[in-house]
């Protein structure tokens, strides 16, 4: 096989491998994908090198390719889709003749772009296995082609080459994974096209105070903990799922494909005398339920059951209530934040409706027609609201993949074109449909459900984020939830053995959390945690080093003092009646007595020195000096010798006595 044919086949095989995710992700539509796959399979199966298309043919195909990409929607659905569709058509044109060395480089670049498009649009955990297999294929192809080049296959002679060793392929793949994992964690994160939201809003995988339907992209589940909720005094079996509907924002103004709230100054709530803050009038005392919430993540909102009547927050936390009753706290508030409240499960605490709760977007005629059709035959407002809720639940499909076109109203697109979307589309549609039949309505965003921890406490995660509807019916606010049951988070039981499906579900959630939605904020959190751990270890190490150094210093000082007391006479002035040299001489005499040198009681220092010198000649010199200085100081009134010289002579005598 010639080098040209070898390159041609490998590039075609890699082109087919790069196309594997494309039909699964939908980033490339079938009219674009089919010619690409057919050409790649034809080139891979060819037994001879194929010539490239003539230059004039490629030039004629170029505008046709651009026209096809534009006709398929252009950038209407984002940038990734047109780039991917353009890449597959260009690759289909460039694959014939790709065995030529100069043409192979450009074709390989286009195929790489196709692979990047397929990988970037994939969200399934199986992507990891695909990447490993694709990497092994690329390493094997590179080794094979390198062998062909070394064998000079272009000379016309068939090259004698083999496959790269399996251990080399495995080692290359393992090394690449080990290098890629820390790079993935360390490199700055870009805005994800799968869990994104408009710039300036919070992540779509959790609660968002501003609901922007247009351009949300694919929402993925997040396992990050938001808060823990408990109901003291209530048995876990008596906790109603409705108690775990916790509102964080109430919205009523629909503008340009999103829900916003008018910028009106909120009311600052202040606790008086340490008492709870009142949020509503006095309900029947027997109906109140107490809840305790630990908010673990900051976002500026406090989450409350719908009938909250009072709340108690730790001192120093400023609470501001907006015109629709949502509570806000400063961004710099320290977390976790504990607060308790009492609520009435049978009512919804909301300000009375006004004309803003009946606003409709321009060109709302189709909304009125659809709402009229859905409520035909109903006899009262409650029946009409329930009919609209039922119509949305039964005739529309829940989907995490919703990306409204830029030039269309998202609600109208959802109702009349896609007919599928996530909870925010369902809730937004019902609000506008209720208003179309004269029922005041608002949209609420927050969390519902949670995971029981088995002790009466419920763990609420970002995946419990949800949107629902408040409708003013029969002179009071009622809750409606038009999202189909499969799209509503619920209350999960605690404990138990995990089935395979549950284990896979948890793995998918971990993939979503730590791969798909891994963001710059996560990197900052990890960096902060690592820095805190390093600082803690450094503090502990410094404390340990200081303790060891202090202990060593104390031990060394004690040893030095002990040796000094043992080896040296007392300092001058310690014995005010005798000079220092006299004291030293007494200690030397005592040391000689302990060594068995008998001295007649009352003998003079000179007699003592002569006796010691006879027994220990080495001590004669320093001992004679001590005796002489003693006599000069004691009896002749001469100045005392230096204390250092006295110590040196005394130590010399004691050493001579020890070694005798």
All structural domains of the chain with their residue ranges: 3-186, 211-491, 580-659
d(CA 89, CA 18): 14
Supply angle C-alpha 263, 264, 269, rounded to 5: 125
Instruction: Check whether 517 has a pLDDT greater than 60.
Output: yes
Average pLDDT, integer, range 399-421: 82
Q: Mean pLDDT across the chain, nearest whole number?
A: 82
d(CA 215, CA 405): 8
Query: Residue 260's closest CA among 340, 173, 198?
Result: 198
The dihedral of CA 3, 36, 192, 205: what is its sign?
negative
pLDDT band at 196 (very low <50, low <70, confident <90, very high): very low
- Other CB atoms closer than 10 Å to residue 492's CB: what's the count? 15
> Regarding predicted confidence, which is higher, 398 or 600?
398
Whole-number pLDDT of residue 490: 77
In this predicted structure, which of 315-324, 496-505, 546-555, 639-648 has the lowest mean pLDDT? 496-505
> Regarding predicted confidence, which is higher, 497 or 412?
412
Q: What percent of the chain has pLDDT over 70?
A: 84
| Sheet of strand 304-305: strand arrangement | 304-305, 245-251, 441-448, 465-473, 476-480
Instruction: Check whether 217 has a pLDDT greater than 50.
Output: no
Instruction: Check whether 382 has a pLDDT greater than 90.
Output: yes
pLDDT band at 191 (very low <50, low <70, confident <90, very high): very low
Instruction: Check whether 331 has a pLDDT greater than 80.
Output: no
Whole-number pLDDT of residue 3: 80
pLDDT band at 532 (very low <50, low <70, confident <90, very high): confident
pLDDT band at 151 (very low <50, low <70, confident <90, very high): low
Phi, psi (degrees; rounded to nearest 5) at 499 = -80, 170
Average pLDDT, integer, range 81-109: 90
Whole-number pLDDT of residue 77: 60
User: Tens of pLDDT along 266-313?
Assistant: 888 877 767 888 888 765 555 789 999 999 876 788 999 999 999 999
Its pTM surpasses 0.85: no
Whole-number pLDDT of residue 577: 53
pLDDT band at 574 (very low <50, low <70, confident <90, very high): very low
Is beta strand 397-398 parallel, antiparallel or unpaired with respect to 420-421?
parallel
Whole-number pLDDT of residue 246: 93
User: Tens of pLDDT along 342-368?
Assistant: 999 888 999 999 998 999 988 889 999
Instruction: Check whether 198 has a pLDDT greater than 50.
Output: no
d(CA 472, CA 250): 14
Whole-angstrom CA distances from 490 to 148, 426, 450 are 60, 17, 6
Whole-number pLDDT of residue 292: 94
Q: What percent of the chain has pLDDT over 90?
A: 30
User: Tens of pLDDT along 76-91?
Assistant: 666 788 888 899 999 9
| Helix 101-120, helix 126-150: angle, nearest 10 | 170
> Regarding predicted confidence, which is higher, 456 or 497?
456
pLDDT band at 29 (very low <50, low <70, confident <90, very high): confident
Whole-number pLDDT of residue 210: 65
Structure tokens at 543: 């404390």
In this predicted structure, which of 144-158, 286-300, 324-338, 517-531 has the lowest mean pLDDT? 144-158
User: Tens of pLDDT along 46-64?
Assistant: 989 899 999 899 889 999 9
Whole-number pLDDT of residue 109: 92
User: Tens of pLDDT along 602-628?
Assistant: 778 888 888 888 888 888 888 888 888
Whole-number pLDDT of residue 93: 93
How many CA within 13 A on the CB side of residue 326?
Answer: 22
Whole-angstrom CA distances from 401 to 74, 239, 407, 633 are 19, 33, 18, 106
Average pLDDT, integer, range 632-640: 82
Structure tokens at 303: 């989450």
Q: Select the highest-mean-pLDDT range: 114-128, 412-426, 445-459, 525-539.
A: 412-426
Instruction: Check whether 321 has a pLDDT greater than 70.
Output: yes
């Amino acid at each position: 096989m010639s080098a040209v044919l070898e390159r041609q086949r490998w590039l075609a095989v890699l082109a087919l491998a790069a196309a594997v995710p494309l039909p699964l992700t939908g980033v490339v539509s079938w009219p674009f994908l089919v010619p690409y796959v057919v050409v790649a399979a034809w080139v891979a199966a060819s037994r001879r090198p194929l010539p490239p298309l003539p230059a004039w043919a490629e030039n004629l195909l170029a505008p046709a390719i651009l026209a096809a990409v534009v006709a398929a929607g252009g950038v209407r659905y984002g940038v990734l889709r047109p780039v991917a569709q353009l890449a597959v058509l260009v690759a289909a044109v460039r694959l014939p003749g790709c065995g030529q060395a100069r043409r192979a480089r450009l074709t390989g670049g286009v195929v790489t772009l196709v692979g990047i498009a397929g990988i970037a649009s994939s969200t399934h955990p199986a992507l990891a296995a695909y990447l490993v297999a694709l990497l092994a294929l690329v390493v094997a192809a590179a080794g094979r082609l390198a062998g062909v080049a070394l064998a000079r296959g272009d000379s016309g002679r068939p090259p004698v080459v083999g496959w790269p060793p399996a251990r080399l392929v495995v080692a290359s793949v393992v090394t690449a994974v080990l290098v890629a994992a820390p790079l993935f964690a360390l490199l700055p994160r870009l805005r994800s096209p799968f869990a994104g939201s408009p710039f300036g809003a919070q992540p779509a995988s959790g609660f968002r105070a501003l609901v922007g339907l247009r351009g949300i992209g694919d929402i993925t589940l997040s396992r990050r903990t938001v808060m823990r909720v408990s109901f003291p005094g209530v048995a876990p079996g008596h906790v109603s799922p409705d108690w775990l509907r916790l509102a964080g924002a109430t919205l009523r103004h629909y503008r340009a494909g999103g829900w916003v709230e008018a910028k009106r100054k909120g009311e600052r709530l202040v606790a008086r005398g340490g008492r709870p803050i009142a949020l509503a009038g006095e309900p029947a005392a027997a109906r109140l339920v107490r809840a305790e919430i630990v908010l673990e993540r900051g976002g500026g909102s406090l989450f409350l059951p719908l009938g909250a009547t009072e709340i108690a927050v730790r001192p120093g936390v400023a609470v501001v209530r907006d015109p629709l009753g949502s509570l806000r706290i400063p961004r710099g508030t320290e977390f976790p934040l504990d607060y308790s409240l009492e609520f009435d499960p049978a009512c919804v605490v909301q300000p009375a409706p006004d004309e803003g709760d009946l606003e409709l977007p321009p060109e709302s005629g189709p909304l009125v027609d659809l709402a009229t059709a859905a409520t035909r035959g109903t006899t009262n407002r409650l029946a009409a609201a329930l009919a609209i809720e039922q119509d949305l639940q039964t005739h529309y499909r829940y989907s995490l993949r919703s990306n409204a076109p830029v030039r269309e109203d998202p609600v109208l697109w959802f109702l009349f074109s896609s007919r599928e979307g996530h909870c925010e589309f369902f809730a937004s549609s019902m609000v506008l449909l209720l208003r179309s039949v004269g029922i005041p309505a608002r949209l609420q965003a927050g969390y519902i459900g949670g995971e029981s921890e088995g002790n009466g406490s419920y763990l609420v995660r970002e995946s419990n984020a949800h949107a629902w509807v408040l409708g003013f019916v029969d002179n009071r606010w009622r809750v409606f939830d038009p999202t189909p049951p499969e799209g509503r988070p619920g209350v999960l039981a605690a404990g138990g053995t995990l089935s395979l499906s549950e284990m896979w579900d948890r793995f998918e959630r971990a993939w979503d959390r730590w791969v798909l939605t891994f963001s710059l904020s996560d990197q900052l959190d990890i960096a902060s945690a690592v820095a805190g751990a390093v600082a803690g270890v450094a503090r502990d190490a410094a404390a340990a080093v200081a303790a060891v150094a202090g202990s060593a210093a104390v031990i060394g000082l004690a040893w030095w003092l002990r040796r000094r007391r043992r080896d040296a006479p007392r300092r001058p002035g310690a014995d005010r009646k005798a000079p220092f040299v006299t004291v030293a001489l007494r200690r030397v005499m005592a040391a000689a007595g302990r060594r068995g040198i008998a001295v007649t009681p009352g003998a003079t220092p000179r007699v003592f020195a002569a006796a010691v010198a006879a027994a220990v000649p080495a001590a004669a010199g320093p001992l004679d000096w001590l005796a002489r200085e003693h006599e000069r100081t004691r009896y002749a009134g001469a100045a005392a010798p230096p204390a250092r010289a006295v110590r040196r002579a005394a130590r010399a005598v004691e050493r001579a006595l020890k070694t005798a």
